[in-house]
Each structure stands twice: as structure tokens, then as C-alpha cells.
Amino acid sequence: MENFSFYAPTYFAFGKDAENQCGQLVKRFGGSNVLIHFGGGSVIKSGLLDRVKKSLAAENIAYTELGGVKPNPRSGLVYEGIKLCREKKIDFILAVGGGSTIDSSKAIAAGAVYDGDFWDYYEGKPVEKALPIGTVLTIAAAGSEGSPDSVITKEDGMIKRGASGEAYRPKFSVLNPALTQTLPAYQTACGITDIIAHLYERYLTNTKNVEVTDRMIEALILAMVNEAPKVMANPNDYDARANIMWGGMMAHNNSCGVGRSQDWTSHNVEHELSALYDCAHGAGLAVAMPAVFTYTLQHDVMRFAKIAVRVWGCQMDFDNPERTAKAGIEALRNFLVSIGMPKNFAELGAKEADIEKLAHTCCYGNGNTSGKISGFTTLEQKDVEAIYRLML
Amino acid sequence: MENFSFYAPTYFAFGKDAENQCGQLVKRFGGSNVLIHFGGGSVIKSGLLDRVKKSLAAENIAYTELGGVKPNPRSGLVYEGIKLCREKKIDFILAVGGGSTIDSSKAIAAGAVYDGDFWDYYEGKPVEKALPIGTVLTIAAAGSEGSPDSVITKEDGMIKRGASGEAYRPKFSVLNPALTQTLPAYQTACGITDIIAHLYERYLTNTKNVEVTDRMIEALILAMVNEAPKVMANPNDYDARANIMWGGMMAHNNSCGVGRSQDWTSHNVEHELSALYDCAHGAGLAVAMPAVFTYTLQHDVMRFAKIAVRVWGCQMDFDNPERTAKAGIEALRNFLVSIGMPKNFAELGAKEADIEKLAHTCCYGNGNTSGKISGFTTLEQKDVEAIYRLML
């Protein structure tokens, strides 16, 4: 196991009606003048935003609203938020929404207390200072509610990049599984796929003898595989929603990723898809993962066999472990299809003719000057092209 | 899943030589005048204490030393520590040792900033205020390095009780697996047993549909069962020590125990054993667990069958799940014996003649006026007597 540090000081208020604690929580963590950041109409229509505002008002906390976050959140709204924070002397950002809203809020929080362009952080500057952030989560997916990460797309060039730093860990996150019951099935499935991807990206490691985190990752995927069909059959299954919500946070707070090298190839390969086609991140991952895993299988057949046996219940073929490893990837694909995810370029709306461009941007774009993407394996443009071709 | 809050803001520095970060960490979390609290000679002999002091000195942090903590830590030393803190105007407690040292440090930390008797906290007063605490862990076992809990024995009457509260979460914990390599096999095994007990106590729940935490608990037990024989065969197996150390923290920081009722019957039953015979807590648990589980099996046969199949690899007997459930308990007992743990009263040094007294103290002592112990099941004195008899 490699040396590491782990620090996840987010307070979680989990359960029914937990959003009514927002006011008390903002107060506890030092906020008095809040920017409420959110996406579209659903948080308004559902009455969630009103409940949040009521909770803030009950504690005499002032607030300003900024809506309009879209999936794959853009820099434009971030600049708007930063300007608003400065004008209104905001001292706390409250994100009400999913990963996009939380990531956008994190970017605003960093930019508001930085003299330069917030985009510097997305070009590699460590995020050491930001306004405190709280979240009210409306979809189990990105894990941003408990992570130090944020991904933003710069409209100039449609460059999608991540930033990370301790200041990006939310002070608190409100996790009410009931809020996710109104999500359409497709979005629910995209969220589950994203959670599973966060787990695979950590599972695919070159670090030896990390059984405790291997087992934790397997446990969380197993829980997703068990609970997903329940919410597909009954969107109002509160307990299944709750299991997925806590699992989604645990999948990405990195307690199961410490002390081991990680992969993130599927995310890299996917980011180009959602950047170019504006597809849902989870949907892109559903298509990307089986292709990436098939292409990189030979790098460590036994690791893929291990997850095939332990998570997907495949029989271990002791004479031919590769057969088991492949069966595990096929089981993953079948599971994703069973919850309504796309399985190829056509279903995703992606085009074969774009493959060279996609692979080139993946290896040379987004500030990557190496011509490679590295993690579990090191891949060059021709490899990435081959991976996209496996998605046809 | 039940509503819950979860807050675990401890910074973990994990890995080789991590103790050299002590000075920086104390400084980061606001300490300038430290009480170093420790147990016997091993931390001195190994040079650990010197390295810790050197690290503090490098940051110009003053310190006072207080050694002498014994297993099942006593109130006498706590009072001494509190007096010392006041005299020396201590502003940070650094525990260098195992669960006993950390628990004793927590009690001192609370008592030092409280006008009354620190024991009030161990009679039920919530711990809301304490000096900040850091730890340098030397045995993977109690999980106190990441938990809000502390257990102290009051010498007047040998009353063993727990206290809990947010102020008891360490600000930081240094986890260097190499520090545990010099532990005798018996202590290592006691620690592993304690970790497994923390997981079983959470597994035995009456809350339905908590698959995500069920799976996490199973994962952590599986990791212990995989790694324990490695350290028994080779005490210097760093990676196995590392897996056990991170697993021990995760087992008790409660991320796998949230939103579900828990048990703690085995701990209750064991506390009387270590209080009366001063045996190692882990050794007492090794004898207590199989007896408690056998006695309470009928309360939820399928739950015991589930852990038997998923953790212990037992075949599910679909016609007679009870047979599977019992096989799982037997597998646990065999595993504990295989790592050198005692299996009955005689091996523990306990006496049949004390059973009535043990059961009576369990149900009526330690501030328990109900005559019962409750968790997974509710047990009266006659039940507890029967459980002790199963340990003969």
C-alpha cells in the first residue's frame, strides 16, 4: 500500500426532510449571506428551493439566487456567479442540485476569493482557498457532495477539465433520498453508472496487496447492482434510493481509493464524448467502460477475473482466467443495458467519423501535451482510437 | 434506512514514517503546548516517542509527558492527566499508543476543560467540549483513532463505561503500519478480533434494506480474514499490516454503521470479563461472540445465514437456513482459534462460579438500571447467564 493522507471533513445530514436543516447547517459552518446555486425548474417545481429558503430565513440568513446550471456545467455561469458573490459580499455557497450544480458552485467558491481567473485552478493550480460550500443533493451520481473535485467546461473551445483541492470539500451535504424519487429512470441509471465508474476507476490499480480497498470497492458495486433494479421497478423505493445515495458518496470520497494507483481512463475517454455530443456523462461511461476494459484486459487478466468472480458472480475458469475476465466485462455491459443505458456509439448519438478527432483531443487536448493518457495502462492516440472503435 | 448524521473530520496521515509529521499536524490543528500521553516501555524502547518529540521540537512545540496507561485504562491516570493539563496550560493532547492510550487521552481532554468530574461524561453527559486530540496509533484494534468514543474503567468499583461525542473525534491520526510490526502475535490477533467484533456489532441490525452498509461490513470482515493469516505467518508483512490498519479505522468510524440499528451485546457481555479478569478485550470478544450469536440466532436466522454465505463461504442450505447460519458461527470461531484466540472460559481464565455475578453486573451494573441489555435482541439476566454458560 502506498503512503497517503485522507481528510474528508464533510458533515452529512442524511434522511427524510434533511433539507430543513440547511439554515442551521449554514449557520454552524459560519455562513450569513448565501448564494443559492441551482439548475433548472425541477428544484423550483418540487418545492425544494422554497423549503431551503424557508430554512435559511428561519435562521435569519440572507440569500441571493442563481439558477441556470446545465449538465456538463459551463464557465460562463461560473463567471456570473463570481461577479454576484463579489457584488453581494457572499460568504457561503449553497448548491441545490446534482454534480453539475455542485461542481459549478465549487468553481464559483474558488473564483470569488481569487484575484486571477478561476480557470487557473482548472489548468492545474491547487485549490487552497474557496468560500465555504454546502450542498443539497438531488441525484446520486457524481459524488461531488463528499469529494474535493470539480469538473467544468470552458465554452471557449469547449474544453472540459477538472480541479481538485481540500477547499473543495463541502462543509456539509444534505442527502435526502426522497428528493431523488422524482428523477426520470434514465437520469437515475446514468447516476448509478457514474457511481460504478468511480469504483472501477479505483479498482483498476497497479498497486499490489490492497485487499481492504479492493473489498470495499467490490462491496459498493455489489450494492449498486442489487439496488438498481429495485429503483428501476419502483422509483419510490426509498430504501433502495438511500442505499444508492450513501453508496454514491462512499464511492467517491476516496476512502476506498487511498493508498493505491487509480485509473480514470474511462472518464478521460468519456469526457470527449460528452464534450462533443453533450450526452449524459453516465451514458457516455456506459459505452466507454466495456470498451476500455476490453482493450486493457491483457494488462492484468487476474484483476479483471477477480472482479468478475467477486462482483458479477462469474465462475472462475482456472484453466483460462481470461475467459472469466471477459465474462465479467460482458456482465457489466448487460447490467448497464438492463437499466436502460446505451451500449454503442449509435445509441449514444456519437459518430464513427469523429473517432480520430475524439482520440486526438483525448491525448493532446485539455491541456494534455503528452500525447498519452495514463493510469492503469498508458495509451497513445492509436490505442484510444481503437477503444472508440470498440464502441461502434 | 434510518435518518442519520455522519461527521468524521479526522485527518489521517497514513504510511511509513508518518509519525514524523506529528509536529506539523499539531501546529496545523492549533496546538502549541502538548501533553504526550502513552503507555509502557515499548514506545520508548522502539524509539517512537523520541521521533515524535523530535518532530514536535522541529516546530517549536512545547510538550509534557505522561506515561503509564494500562490496558482497560483507569480513571486514576485520567485525573492525574487532567491536573497536569491545568498546571501546564496544555492546549493539545497527543496520544501515542493503542486504544487504551487514546481513550485515556480523550477522557483527559474532556476533563481538562470541564469544571466538574470527568466521570460525568461516562455517566451519560454528551461530550461537547474537549481539548483537541491527535493520535499516533501503535495497534490496529479499537478504532478509537477515528471514532468519537472512549471507554474508561473507574477504579472505585471497577466500573467500565463508555462516553461519546463529537469533541472526541481526533483532529488527526497518524497511521504507520510499520509501527505494528513489532507487536506480539497475541496482541495482533486480539486487535483483529476487536475489529471483527466492531463489524459484527453493526451487522446485527433490525433495520431492513441496508444493503450498502451490509456489503461494506462484509467487505471489511473479508479483508481481515484474508490478511490475518499473513501477519500471523510473517509479522513484518507491511501490506497486510496496512490493510488491517485501514480496515480497523473504517470498521469503527461508523461509515458502515449509519442508518441502521446496531447490537453491541458482545461488547457488553465482554466488558464484564475484562473488568473482572483483566483479560485482553479482544480475547474476551473471541470467547463472547460465538456464544452471543448462538444464543440470539433464532431472532434472525437469515441474517446469520447471509454473513455465513457471503463472508465465510458457507453453502446456503435452502431447506434449512439455520444449518448455514450455525456453520457461519462455527467458521468465525474456527478462524479466531486459528489466529490464537481463546475459545472458552478456561482458556480465558474465567470461572464458572462467577457467571451469576457477571450476568448480574452486565444487566444491573455500570449504570444500567433496566435489568436488561438491548440491541439486536433484548436480554435479561437469565439470558446473559445462559450466554456465559455457552462459553464453558
Instruction: Tell how far CA A151 is from the center of its chain.
Output: 9
CB within 8 Å: B210 and A243: yes
How confident is residue B167, by pLDDT bands cut at 50, 70 and 90? very high
Say if residue A370's pLDDT is above 90: no
Say if residue A165's pLDDT is above 90: yes
Write down the mean pLDDT value for chain A.
96
CB within 8 Å: A209 and B243: yes
DSSP type of residue A326: H
Say if residue B367's pLDDT is above 80: no
In 10 A of CB B392, how many CB atoms? 11
Q: For an interface test with A, give the residue of B22, B205, B211 to mutate (most A CBs within 10 A).
A: B211
Q: State the burial class of residue B79 (Cβ atoms within 10 Å of its Cβ: 0-12, 13-18, 19+).
A: middle
ipTM computed for the complex? 0.97
Closest CA to A245 of A267, A217, A223: A223
pLDDT for B157: 80
CB B251 within 8 A of CB B200: no
List beta partners, residue A149. A164
How confident is residue B197, by pLDDT bands cut at 50, 70 and 90? very high
**What number is the average pLDDT over the span B44-69?**
97
- Give the pLDDT confidence of B315-363 residue by residue, as tens digits: 999 999 999 999 999 999 999 999 999 999 999 999 999 999 999 999 9
- Give the pLDDT confidence of A204-223 residue by residue, as tens digits: 999 999 999 999 999 999 99
The chain B residue lying nearest A253, using CA atoms, is B255
CB A223 within 8 A of CB B211: yes
- Give the pLDDT confidence of A80-130 residue by residue, as tens digits: 999 999 999 999 999 999 999 999 999 999 999 999 999 999 988 989 999
CB within 8 Å: B215 and A210: no
CB within 8 Å: A3 and B9: no
Determine the distance in angstroms separating the CA of B100 from the nearest CA of chain A, rounded to an integer. 24
CB within 8 Å: A258 and B216: no
Q: A10 phi and psi, to 5 degrees?
A: -95, 135
CB within 8 Å: B208 and A258: no
Determine the distance in angstroms separating the CA of B290 from the nearest CA of chain A, rounded to an integer. 24
Q: B144 phi and psi, to 5 degrees?
A: -65, -20
In 10 A of CB B128, how many CB atoms? 12
CB within 8 Å: B15 and A6: no
Determine the distance in angstroms separating the CA of B371 from the nearest CA of chain A, rounded to an integer. 33
CB B164 within 8 A of CB B127: yes
CA–CA dist A4, A259 (Å, integer):
6
CB A380 within 8 A of CB A362: no
User: To which residue does cell 489548468 refer?
Assistant: A123
How confident is residue A41, by pLDDT bands cut at 50, 70 and 90? confident
The chain A residue lying nearest B219, using CA atoms, is A215
CA–CA dist B78, B6 (Å, integer):
28
CB within 8 Å: B220 and A226: no
CB within 8 Å: B14 and A3: yes
**Chain B residues with beta carbon closer than 8 angstroms to that of A7:** 9-12
Nearest-CB residue to B12 (from A7, A208, A219): A7
pLDDT for B369: 79
CB within 8 Å: A227 and B211: yes
Say if residue A156's pLDDT is above 90: no
CB within 8 Å: A14 and B7: no
CB within 8 Å: A5 and B11: yes
Q: State the burial class of residue A76 (Cβ atoms within 10 Å of its Cβ: 0-12, 13-18, 19+).
A: middle
CB B123 within 8 A of CB B365: no
Determine the distance in angstroms separating the CA of B190 from the nearest CA of chain A, rounded to an integer. 19
CA angle A268, A270, A273 (to 5 degrees): 125
Q: Where are the alpha helices (DSSP H) in B204-320?
A: 211-233, 238-252, 265-277, 281-296, 301-310
Determine the distance in angstroms separating the CA of A189 from the nearest CA of chain B, rounded to an integer. 17
**What number is the average pLDDT over the span B198-207?**
98
Dihedral over alpha carbons B297, B298, B299, B301 (to 10 degrees): 70
Tell me the pTM: 0.97
Q: Per the structure block, which three cell numbers stand in for A360?
A: 486526438
Q: Which of A74-88, A366-380, B94-108, B116-130 has the lowest mean pLDDT?
A: A366-380
CA–CA dist A110, A132 (Å, integer):
9
Q: For an interface test with A, give the residue of B1, B25, B239, B309 to mutate (most A CBs within 10 A).
A: B1
Strand A133-137 relative to strand A62-66, pairing = unpaired
- A133-171 b/e with 16+ CB inside 10 Å = b? bbbbbbbbbbbbbbbbbbbbbbeeeebbbbbbbbbbbbb
Dihedral over alpha carbons A93, A120, A359, A157 (to 10 degrees): 80
Residue A181, helix vs strand vs coil? coil
Determine the distance in angstroms separating the CA of B240 from the nearest CA of chain A, rounded to an integer. 7
Nearest-CB residue to A243 (from B211, B226, B244): B211
CB within 8 Å: B222 and A215: yes
The chain A residue lying nearest B213, using CA atoms, is A243
Q: State the burial class of residue B319 (Cβ atoms within 10 Å of its Cβ: 0-12, 13-18, 19+).
A: exposed
**What number is the average pLDDT over the span B136-156?**
95
Write down the mean pLDDT value for chain B.
96
CA–CA dist A17, A20 (Å, integer):
6
Q: Per the structure block, which three cell numbers stand in for A5?
A: 493522507
pLDDT for A388: 98
**Chain B residues with beta carbon closer than 8 angstroms to that of A211:** 223, 226-227, 243
- Give the pLDDT confidence of B248-290 residue by residue, as tens digits: 999 999 999 999 999 999 999 999 999 889 899 999 999 999 9
pLDDT for A368: 75
Closest CA to A233 of A198, A189, A290: A189
pLDDT for A96: 98
CB within 8 Å: B14 and A258: yes
Say if residue B368's pLDDT is above 80: no
**Chain A residues with beta carbon closer than 8 angstroms to that of B11:** 5-7, 9
Closest CA to B130 of B75, B101, B168, B96: B168
H/E element, A296: helix A281-296
Strand A133-137 relative to strand A92-97, pairing = parallel
Determine the distance in angstroms separating the CA of B63 from the nearest CA of chain A, rounded to an integer. 25
Q: Per the structure block, which three cell numbers stand in for B203?
A: 451487522
CB within 8 Å: B216 and A219: yes
